Each structure stands twice: as C-alpha cells, then as structure tokens.
C-alpha cells in the first residue's frame, strides 16, 4: 500500500493507480479504473469502471465518478468513461458512463472545473477548459465545446449542444443549441448577445470581437429564419475562423438554436 493511500480506502485489485496517486479515507475505487499519475482522490468518493483518468486529476470528497448511466434502457452492458488531465471534480459531483445506444462512452477533456453538485450525464462529450458552476447539469448525449461556462443550477436537455466559449447564465434551461461565443440566459433561454467579457479575457482582439458580434446579432435577430440568416451571413463573405465556426455550428444544428427574445418569448430557429 502506497504511503499516499489511506488504509481505510477500498481499492479493487483490478484498478490501476499511477505513480504518486493519493487516495483519501473511505474512498472506493472499483475494477477497471485507471487513474493517472499524481491524481488525488478525496475521502468518501467513489470511482467505478471502466473509467480512465489522465494525470493530475483531483476528485473531492463525496464525488461519484464512472457510475452506471441513469437510463432505464441500460442493462449492465460494458460502457466507459474517459477523462483527460488536470480536471477538478468538486464535492458531490456526479459523472456517468455511456450507454450502448449513445456510443458507449462519456468523454471529458482537460483542465475542466466541475463545481459542487454538477452532473455530466451518459454519453455526453465535454471539451477542455470548461467551468460547470454549482449544480450545473447535463442530460445524456449533450456536447459542450471548449471554454464554455455552464452557470449555477442550469440544465441542458438531451442531445443539445453548448458551443465553444458559450456562457450560460445561472438557472438557464437549454432545450435548443446554445450558440458559440454568445451568452444564453433564462428558464426560456434567450441569446443576450456576444460573450464579450469572457472572450476579451481569453485574448480575442477587438476586430474579431466586432466581427463575431455582428454575426451573432444577425443570426439571432427576430424575423429571419435559420436559412435566411445563414444566407445573409455567407453573403457578407467574412472569412474569420471564428465566424466560420459559428456558421458551421448553426448549419449542423438538429434542434435549432437559441435566439433573441421577441415580445418576451424565445425565438425559434
């Protein structure tokens, strides 16, 4: 037993712990779990397999990682959870493995912060550098792009996408795709425009912000449907990579995307 592993921890012989891994009191690590070097697993936390975690992850007390999906169709099939490096899973955070029908794997990238009570549902795909505030939740089959922020007590419906650099305000309910680079807020979510503060903090220059703001405004403007908005945006010929990414996101949307309010209601795409 490594000096960094508390004697009360329960570790299955089928688990693989890397160099320098620390495990706190009464933590439970199951078979098929692989934990990368220098990770720290907090007291009373649970990690079930098959789960693979990269190096330098931090799991805080009472977090539950890699447990079976909350899906009534799940019948015990072998599915997995894949986690990158340097993520933080705070107290009572829960992350489920995938389902056969959803591809079988839940994936999380690098350098994410999952605050207390947050949840990542089965088959979700989370990028890198995201922040999930307290009790931010993803239903199954959700995609979250890099640098997105999921506000406290927000909920994202199954099969929705949250674009890169998107910001969801607290208590937001997402039932359509949330645009990249933009702010979406509300129990009947509306787009409030460009995530200007967040983008400036990440080093976006003023010209890029101007072009993105113009594109977001056009896409979310009431009175234009998706095809019309995309046609107008393409006609302007803006070749900025960020604008192209915005166009591609909207063009590939299957659920529609969150737009600006019109007469107090959410616009449909």
- Reply yes or no on whether the pLDDT at 183 is more than 90: yes
What number is the average pLDDT over the span 178-185? Answer: 98
Query: Is the pLDDT at 264 greater than 90, yes or no?
Result: no
Catalytic site positions: 122-123, 140
Q: Compute the CA torsion angle 112, 117, 122, 127 (nearest 10 deg).
A: -10
Domains of the chain by residue range = 10-141, 200-266
| Arithmetic mean of pLDDT, 100-122 | 98
pLDDT on residue 221? 86
- For residues 165-191, average pLDDT: 97
Q: pLDDT band at residue 262, thresholds of 50, 70 and 90? A: low
Say whether domain 200-266 belongs to CATH 1.20.1180.10.
yes
| Residues 6 or more apart whose Cβ sits within 8 Å of residue 35 | 15, 16, 17, 18, 21, 29, 41, 47, 53, 57
- Architecture label for domain 10-141: 3 Solenoid (2.160)
Residue-wise pLDDT for 126-176, tens only, equals 999 999 999 999 999 999 999 999 999 999 999 999 999 999 999 999 999
Mean pLDDT of 208-220: 95
């Amino acid at each position: 037993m490594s000096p960094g592993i508390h004697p009360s921890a329960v570790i299955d012989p089928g688990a693989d712990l890397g160099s320098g891994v620390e495990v706190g009191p009464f933590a439970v690590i199951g078979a098929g779990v692989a934990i990368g070097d220098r990770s720290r697993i907090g007291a009373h936390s649970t990690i079930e397999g098959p789960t693979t975690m990269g190096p330098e992850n931090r799991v805080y007390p009472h977090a539950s990682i890699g447990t079976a999906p909350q899906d009534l169709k799940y019948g015990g099939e072998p599915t997995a959870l894949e986690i990158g490096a340097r993520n933080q899973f705070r107290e009572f955070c829960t992350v489920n493995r995938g389902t056969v029908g959803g591809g079988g794997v839940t994936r999380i990238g690098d350098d994410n912060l999952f605050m207390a009570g947050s949840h990542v549902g089965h088959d979700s795909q989370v990028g890198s550098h995201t922040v999930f505030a307290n009790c931010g939740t993803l239903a199954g089959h959700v995609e979250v792009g890099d640098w997105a922020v999921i506000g406290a007590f927000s909920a994202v419906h199954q099969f929705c996408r949250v674009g890169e650099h998107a910001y969801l305000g607290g208590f937001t309910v997402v039932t359509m795709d949330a645009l990249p680079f933009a702010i979406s807020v509300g129990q009947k979510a509306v787009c409030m425009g460009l995530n200007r503060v967040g983008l400036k903090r990440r080093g976006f220059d003023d010209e890029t912000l101007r072009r993105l703001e113009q594109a977001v405004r056009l896409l979310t403007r009431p009175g234009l449907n998706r095809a019309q908005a995309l046609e107008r945006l393409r006609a302007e010929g803006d070749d900025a990579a960020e604008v192209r990414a915005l166009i591609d996101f909207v063009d590939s949307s299957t659920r529609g995307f969150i737009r600006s309010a019109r007469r107090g209601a959410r616009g449909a795409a």
